Amino acid sequence: MNLFYKYCIIILLIFTNSLYSYEQIIYVYAFDSYKSVQPKKTILVGEIKSKVKSTEIINTQSPIKEYDTRKDVVTVKVINRKGLKVGQTLYVVYKNPHHDKFKNALIVGEIKVTSILNHPFYGLVLTGEGNLLRVREGFFVVRTLESENIEKAYFIKRKADNYLLEEDYQRAIQEYLNAIRQDSDLVEAHASLGKVYYLLYLNDDSDVSLQHALKELEISWNLKDKFRYNKELYDFLFDYFSALLDYFIYFEKNKPSVKNDSIKILTRMIDISKECQTLSEDIECKMIQAIAIYYLMNYYSEESNPEHRKLYDQYKVELGLLLKQIEESNNQKIYLKFAEYQQGKVKFFERKIDLVQFEYIFIRYYFELYKELQTLQKWKEKEKLKSLLKTHIENYYRFSNDNPKYRDQNIKILQIKNSLK
């Protein structure tokens, strides 16, 4: 029994020491170069434990092809976790090994943080990359004092998240803005702020709210490499896609400037769907890609330019193959879950995609094929497609639920439904 208690005490001490090591603050006074008069006051982050070259292929066409231009990748054992985030710039310093204190160190390189994780041997580590010719294992990594604002910014953002959950949108907006003032690159705050503005737009149909949402979501897209977790990035992608889709559909006819930006908007929607598919194999990522391709195809269908007609044919084939993949996949789970939600069998139904929009493009695309088959007098294929269309029309009405947002689309779907009788 005494031996057991001894082991418990040892484990507790190890845990306490490791926990303390992540909290301790050691100041480092480092010079930018030998010409510097005053050193910078920085905070020690940790020690470099390994340095390797990245797997990037060397560009043989480069004018400096005689040199290995790949970036170095380092693993740093973290001493102080505070103030660290993915995408952050840290500095590598060298100090005289005979000096116990971190004074008169020299900055010899900088790295960009690519991940923060637990290592089975070193414990908490970060990985970073940069051009580190003069850097070796055993060198130290520091951060600037300004990075102290990062932890404060995350604290304020969590406060804003609580207001968002309570649907107190105005206070949530204020706190997200406060978080961004602390750290202008806090991508999670920009994404959440964009989401709040988008929710306001859905409630009041305000053009201003949607414009604010798109502004913040665009900033988040440019900072997407700095998301701490893939789940947050995944959620953001669907918020951004939904806002762009609404802007494209409902404001295209009211704002002439949008027409000029149509390709830009649709291309971004394609980029979002591809980014989504790098994160997840979920069918919804392909569904949003199908929506974007449909509107691209539809855009080029109105053009007489031979090059544009070629693009129309290309997108038409691409969309057909994608819809076939979706149809053959197990996407019915989404519809079954939604039916259970409507029947009160489950209290919460989480879906990222607007199923009304997806069913709309499914019906419109299949109806065009249906008319082509009628012209070609392919009666067997026509009846099969007719049955498929009726199924998707039922799904469409189940999700649209007389929402005035879909009024224009409802009229078109009703016309298609009547023509199938």
Q: Taking 60 as the threshold, does the pLDDT of residue 289 lie above it? A: yes
DSSP bridge pairs for 43: 27, 143
Q: Taking 90 as the threshold, does the pLDDT of residue 168 lie above it? A: yes
Q: Which region holds residue 247: left if phi is over 0, alpha if psi is between -120 and 50, else beta?
A: alpha
- Comparing CA positions, the residue from 367, 362, 397 lying closest to residue 385 is 367
Q: Taking 90 as the threshold, does the pLDDT of residue 212 lie above it? A: yes
- Evaluated on CA atoms 207, 209, 210, 216, the torsion sign reads positive
pLDDT at 11: 43
pLDDT at 379: 76
Going by C-beta distance under 8 Å and a sequence separation of 6 or more, which residues neighbour residue 337?
Answer: 346, 349, 351
Q: How high is the mean pLDDT of the chain? A: 82
Digit-coded pLDDT (tens) for 123-136: 999 999 998 988 99
Digit-coded pLDDT (tens) for 298-330: 888 876 688 888 888 899 999 999 988 888 775
Q: 167 — phi, psi (to 5°)?
A: 60, 25
- Evaluated on CA atoms 392, 326, 288, 313, the torsion sign reads negative
What is the β-pairing status of strands 27-31 and 105-119?
parallel
Q: Taking 50 as the threshold, does the pLDDT of residue 213 lie above it? A: yes
Q: Using DSSP, state whether 90 is helix, strand or coil.
A: strand
pLDDT at 243: 94
Q: Name the band, by pLDDT with cuts 50, 70 and 90, for residue 73.
A: very high
Q: How far apart are CA 285 and CA 292, in angstroms?
A: 11
Digit-coded pLDDT (tens) for 15-38: 444 443 455 788 888 887 666 677
Q: Which residue has the higher pLDDT, 2 or 70?
A: 70
Q: Taking 50 as the threshold, does the pLDDT of residue 9 lie above it? A: no
Q: How far apart are CA 360 and CA 369, in angstroms?
A: 15
Q: Name the band, by pLDDT with cuts 50, 70 and 90, for residue 350.
A: low
Neighbours of 58 (CB within 10 A): 12
CATH class (in words) of the domain with range 2-56+68-146 = mainly beta
pLDDT at 258: 52
Digit-coded pLDDT (tens) for 135-154: 999 999 999 877 777 878 88
pLDDT at 34: 63
Digit-coded pLDDT (tens) for 233-265: 999 999 999 999 989 887 666 665 555 678 889
Q: Which residue has the higher pLDDT, 277 or 67?
A: 277
Q: CB under 8 Å, gap of 24 or more: what pairs does 266-270 form? A: 266/292, 266/295, 266/296, 266/299, 268/221, 268/244, 269/241, 269/244, 269/245, 269/295, 270/296
The DSSP output letter for 349 is -
Q: Name the band, by pLDDT with cuts 50, 70 and 90, for residue 67.
A: low
| Helices (H), ranges, 23-147 | none
Q: Quick check: 349 and 338 in contact, CB under 8 A?
A: yes
Q: Which residue has the higher pLDDT, 187 or 351?
A: 187
pLDDT at 281: 83
Q: Hey, what's the torsion of the CAs at 142, 143, 145, 148, to 10 degrees?
A: -130
The ranges assigned to domains in the chain are 2-56+68-146
